[in-house]
Structure 1
Amino acid sequence: MVKKNRGKKIILGILCAILLVTALAFILFFNELRSLASLKVIDNYPMYRMTYFGDYGFNEFLKVGAKSDSDIEKFVTKRLLKGLPIDINVTGAGCTVFVTKNDKGDTIFARNFDFTYAPSLQVWANPRNGYASVSTVNLSFAGYSKDNLPTPMGINSFLTLAAPYLPFDGMNEKGVSIALLAVPEAHMSTDENKVTLNTTTAIRLVLDKAATVDEAVDLLRKYNIYFSGDIKCHYLIADVTGKSVIVEYWNGGLQVVKSDKSYQIASNFIAYNGLDIGEGYDEFDRYDSVKQAIEENHGKLTKEQTIDLLTQIGVHGPAGEDKLQWSVVYNLTDLQGYSFAHRNRGNVKEFTLKK
């Protein structure tokens, strides 16, 4: 009888220990688990959505920055992934972005992301010391591929928690929007007194901290930049007023390209001082197609016209492969938008930043 009671006590003790460890793990990973629980597939290409809960430590990151992808990997691994390693991987892309008005007079920011296979994730974030935003992440940047895709509530979804540091475009609650596009060249000097950001954390800076285009440019001037994977980029930035600029890194510094039109277009060529240095593919054709569509419609595009245009200008590779990975339209006036994956206009998904 004594042995039986002792055995029961041992089993009870083990169960209590397991429950305690489970409870502690739940408390420690509470926001991470909430975030992963929100992961949903919205297109089978695939395209995902997720809400990031909790603090992703961006203010902490801004104090130290990163001078290489390895530095970002270390920070994200320690701060967000609890030690699980991530391998940031960037390759070139051909994209088109434009800012104009819709048929209601709202300011819209429309973007195609053309790339090799790239599953996408729309992530909602609401940092304690920053503006709420929705952004689009290229999940291949976090190491996902056709043979390795995140599964909602699966263990292989854990790397999606790095999403706040990997936006390729986005809109914040103040009606500021930004997107990156690859360009063939950039010339940026380094100021040892400034913290360094990479291509995507520069976008996070703007989304979290900028309420206008001018604020976005002023913020970017405070930091050095390096280009992940050595893929040079420029940015199109716009705000709710319709003001927009292209930010390029040329002649050793940050250069601002303004438009003398009521709209602005960016493609994969250097626009500063009319240099028009392109990749030698179809970047100028895409630019001209957008310009023609906007001007033929007197600066205002309906939703259907915008979808038609994005579908039309999506890139096809030299072998005919479809490179259009995702299209997204942000309405900077009413903080709503819509997106679709891989030219699938039959599955356009609407979204909102409104509370």
Structure 2
Amino acid sequence: MRRILPAALVALLLALTSCATPGPDGAPNSSPAGLSTASRQDPVQAERTMASLRRVDDLPLYEMTYVGSYDATVGTDATPSSPFGCSLFVAAGDPGRTVFARNFDWEANPALVLRTDPPDGHASISLVDISYLGVGADPTGDRRLLDAPLLPFDGMNERGLAVGLAADDAATVRPDPGRPTVGSVRILRLVLDRAATVDEAVAVFTRYNLNMDGGPALHYLLADATGASAVIEFVDGELRVERGTGGWQALTNVPVVGVPEQRRRADRRYGLIATALTDSGGVLDAAAAHRVLAGVRQGHTRWSVTYGLRTGEVRLVTASGGERRYQLPMS
């Protein structure tokens, strides 16, 4: 049954959403009140999205389900000013239960578990550091949350494709004038919405220039439900891809493309992950993957998460000690 809103509430929502004026591409620009620039929701969908927000953890961690559509190519983007930490790996020794795992090591900001199901893309679940939306520790009623789909720091979609990022100080990007430019965090949303496999995700990356101005340079780990994985880095201005072999692949904050494994393992966190995955033959369940993540936690680890690329299971542990589980229906 469709929910009917009181006429006064609909009128108020229409007034709020009309505060944005169209930009040159027809997309609304942010108003002084910080209203969404990417939302393509009608007022009822926006109200349902905001009404779904709830606090579930003292990180603080929130959950929200985005209702309706958005334009993933416009609006807010993250410009972090100091390096990310982060440790990521994919355990694919048993392709029937591939696990993607990551620690997000960063500042003490509030986070959001976001569900999206765009009409023209794949449903996904992702984690967002909402401070990059300008949102504080209590985001209740803050309509800037309607831009939350634009800033996934890691996530998985219904096809079993997962992606995460980490700082890579060695990365350099040389723009191609024939390609559109998107932010270095925004690209994760485009991948989650449009790609079902690692090959398709790599193709999404190759269609865009990445803007890394104003923040740390990044590299990325991708994995899919077949057990395929890849690292994407930018070496001497060029996008480079290294495919996973041997049942696992890992990423911290040191370059891996073209770098001998022995040199990679000189990084403490990479070395600990690599040893654990080598010893296990790349076969880990979610609980074992979380034990590996715990072994490389840092003082500023904000969340540890595993994504079951076949099962759709998401297990999340936050810095506050809270644990949450989610189930993404897989297609």
Residue identity over aligned pairs, in percent, reads: 32
Task: Report deviation, 1:159.
Answer: 2.1
Q: Match of 2:138, as an amino acid?
A: P
SS of the equivalent of 1:229 reads: coil
The aligned residue for residue 307 of structure 2 is 330
Mean CA deviation greater in 257-266 or 121-130: 257-266
Indicate whether 1:210 and 2:195 are aligned.
Answer: yes
Of 59, 70, 82, 1:45 maps to 59
Of 299, 324, 329, 2:282 maps to 299
Q: Any gaps of 5 or more consecutive residues in structure 2?
A: 1-5, 15-41
Indicate whether 1:131 and 2:122 are aligned.
Answer: yes
Indicate the RMSD between aligned Cα atoms, in angstroms.
2.5
Q: Match of 1:351, as an amino acid?
A: Y
Q: Which has the higher helix share?
A: 1
Of 125, 137, 141, 1:149 maps to 137
Task: Report deviation, 1:109.
Answer: 0.2
Q: How does 1:108-127 map to 2 (within 5 A)?
A: 108-127=99-118
The aligned residue for residue 10 of structure 2 is 23
Task: Report deviation, 1:105.
Answer: 4.3
Q: Is 1:183–1:269's contact at 8 Å kept on the other side of the alignment?
A: yes
SS of the equivalent of 1:314 reads: coil
Task: Report deviation, 1:343.
Answer: 6.3
The aligned residue for residue 351 of structure 1 is 326
Task: Report deviation, 1:161.
Answer: 1.6
| Cα distance in 2, alignment partners of residues 188 and 295 from structure 1 | 32
Cα gap change, 1:177 to 1:49, in 2 (>3 Å): same
Indicate whether 1:221 and 2:194 are aligned.
Answer: no
| Cα distance in 2, alignment partners of residues 343 and 272 from structure 1 | 35
| Cα distance in 2, alignment partners of residues 90 and 351 from structure 1 | 31
Q: Is 2:83–2:215's contact at 8 Å kept on the other side of the alignment?
A: no
Cα gap change, 1:297 to 1:57, in 2 (>3 Å): same
| Cα distance in 2, alignment partners of residues 25 and 31 from structure 1 | 14
Of 303, 309, 317, 1:340 maps to 317
Deviations 1:285-334 (A, max 9, x none): 1111111112222322233322222122112xxxxxx2010111000001
Q: Is 1:46–1:341's contact at 8 Å kept on the other side of the alignment?
A: no
TM-score by length of 2: 0.83
| Cα distance in 2, alignment partners of residues 327 and 26 from structure 1 | 37
Q: Which has the larger radius of gyration?
A: 1
Task: Report deviation, 1:90.
Answer: 4.5
SS of the equivalent of 1:112 reads: strand
Cα gap change, 1:20 to 1:258, in 2 (>3 Å): closer
Q: Is 1:183–1:233's contact at 8 Å kept on the other side of the alignment?
A: yes
Q: Any gaps of 5 or more consecutive residues in structure 1?
A: 1-18, 66-71, 77-86, 316-321
Deviations 1:139-184 (A, max 9, x none): 222224xxx3134xx33x3222211111111101111000010111
| Cα distance in 2, alignment partners of residues 305 and 102 from structure 1 | 13
Of 256, 260, 270, 2:245 maps to 260
Q: Is 1:168–1:203's contact at 8 Å kept on the other side of the alignment?
A: yes
Mean CA deviation greater in 184-193 or 218-227: 184-193
